[in-house]
Structures are given as structure tokens and as C-alpha cells.
Amino acid sequence: MISLDLTTFVLQLINFIILYMVLKHFLFEPITNLMNSRSEEISEQINRAQEREEEAEDLKEEYKNILNDAKSEAQDIIEKSRRRAQRDAEDIVNNAKNEGNKKIERAEKEIARAKEQAIDSLKDEVADISIQMTRRLLEQSINKDVQEKTIESYIEQIDKDKLGELGC
């Protein structure tokens, strides 16, 4: 049977208590402190990581908004430029049409003026020819047949000379 010695038991108990105190002081407390500090450090790192992640999400959202604003602004600029180019093209076409119409009007006026001058000139020449014919008729005192032939020859001369010049 096992005998229990009281002195050995007490000594063993004292040894155990001393060992426990020494281990507690030199081993358990530092390890507990180390574990607690490590736990706090990990918690802080997790918190910082979460804060950085939130900041990154905020920045990401901000950059998305900036990018969308830039795209929208670029689209507006493109649309404004397209409208301005369209207006400029229409202005150029309208100016060209107006200039063409002005040139046509000037040409028509010039043609009308030239026509009036030609008609006036023709009237003057017809009057001159009539006067000449009258003079010749009076000078010649010829019969009616000769007068008609003379008039016809002058009219033919007028037709050939003046009407040919007018391009009629």
C-alpha cells in the first residue's frame, strides 16, 4: 500500500506553489500579456484594414462619379461641337446660296440693262434709217415699187446687222 508521508506531501505542495508562482510570474503573465497585446494589435490592424477598405470604397465611388461626370461632360462637349458644326455648315450653305442669288440678280439686271441699251440703240438706228430712207425717197422721187424695195432692203439690213448682234 501506498503510504503518505505528511512532510513529503507538504514539501511537495510548497514546491508546487513556488513553481506555480515562479511560472506565473515569469511565464504565464508574460505570455498572457503577449497574447493580450498581440490580440489588441490584431484588432487594431483589423480596424485599420476596415477603415482603409471603407476609404478605398469611398475613393472608388468618388472616382466612379468623377469618371461619369467626365464622360457626361465629354458627351456634352461632343454634342455642342456637333451642333456648332451643323450650324456653321448651314450658315456656309445659306451664305453661298445668298451670294449665288445676288450674282444671279446682278447678271439678270446686267442682261436687262444690256437689252434696254440694245433696244434703245436699235430704236435710234431705226429712226436714223427711217430718216435716211425718207431723205432718199424724197431725193429720188421714184415710184412706189422702188420705195417698197428700198424699205425692204433696209429692213433686211437691220435684221442682219442688229438682230444678229443681239443673238436673237
Query: What is the value of pTM for the model shown?
Result: 0.42
CA distance 9 to 7: 5
Where do the structural domains in the chain lie, given as residue ranges? Answer: 38-166
The answer to whether 157 and 132 are in contact (CB under 8 A) is no
69-120 pLDDT, tens digit per residue, is 999 999 999 999 999 999 999 999 999 999 999 999 999 999 999 888 888 8
Q: Which three cell numbers stand for residue 41?
A: 494589435
3-state secondary structure 119-141: HHHHHHHHHHHHHHHHHHHHHHC
- Answer left, alpha or beta for residue 2, where phi above 0 means left and psi between -120 and 50 means alpha: beta
